[in-house]
């Protein structure tokens, strides 16, 4: 697992072997069973983590009781509620395992320790935060400017390995459409083939 984390880190920044070992030692392993929660609405998020094995969905339930999926996180993806984690306030999100999963988690205290004692770690999280911000910005633009058909087609193309692990209901919640509307889109696509 630690080797998996080291590979992820070295994709973003260069660290000495000692810095890498010291930083990785701050993470704790956690196994999450399918349908279990890493975080629930109202709890304070006390971790930032990387998915080693499995699949999670990060979502919010709106005032009408509908799930709004912010993102899915599979192997090699990072998960947290950044607002709750950073500001130590109750979360508005759920982080649920869609498969039996394993994660490596770092606490805010240990992350701050790393910032102070391994200076390059700030660069690591800055780079990852920028990439996340860009992805969310692109998603917002797509949601505002593209049809549901286009967003569905792009989702399948961009995340084929993820698409195969999700139900249509979960994909619909991510796209912000009803399950029935997604069924119509799928039918339209498959009749064109």
- pLDDT for position 190: 75
| Torsion angle of the four alpha carbons 61, 67, 73, 74, in this order, in degrees rounded to the nearest 10 | 140
- pLDDT for position 193: 59
Total Cβ atoms within 10 A of residue 27: 21
Q: Which fold has domain 2-119?
A: Jelly Rolls (2.60.120)
- Predicted confidence pLDDT, tens digits, the chain (193 residues): 788 899 999 999 999 999 999 999 999 999 999 999 999 999 999 999 999 999 999 999 999 998 999 999 999 999 999 999 999 999 999 999 999 999 999 999 999 999 999 989 999 999 999 999 999 999 999 999 999 999 999 999 999 989 889 999 999 999 999 989 999 998 887 777 5
| Dist CA 62 CA 176 (whole Å) | 12
């Amino acid at each position: 697992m630690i080797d998996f984390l080291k590979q992820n880190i070295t994709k973003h920044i260069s660290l000495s072997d000692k810095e890498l070992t010291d930083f990785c030692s701050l993470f704790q392993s956690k196994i999450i069973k399918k349908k279990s929660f890493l975080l629930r609405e109202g709890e304070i998020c006390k971790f930032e983590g990387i998915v080693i094995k499995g699949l999670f969905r990060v979502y919010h339930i709106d005032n009408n009781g509908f799930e709004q999926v912010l993102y899915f996180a599979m192997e090699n993806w990072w998960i947290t509620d950044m607002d709750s984690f950073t500001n130590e306030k109750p979360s508005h999100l759920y982080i649920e395992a869609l498969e039996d999963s394993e994660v490596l988690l770092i606490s805010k205290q240990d992350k701050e320790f790393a910032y102070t004692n391994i200076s390059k770690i700030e660069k690591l999280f800055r780079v990852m935060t920028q990439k996340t911000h860009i992805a969310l910005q692109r998603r917002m633009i797509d949601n505002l400017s593209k049809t549901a058909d286009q967003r569905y087609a792009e989702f399948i193309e961009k995340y084929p390995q993820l698409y195969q692990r999700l139900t249509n209901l979960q994909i619909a919640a991510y796209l912000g459409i009803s399950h029935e509307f997604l069924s119509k889109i799928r039918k339209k696509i498959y009749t064109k083939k």
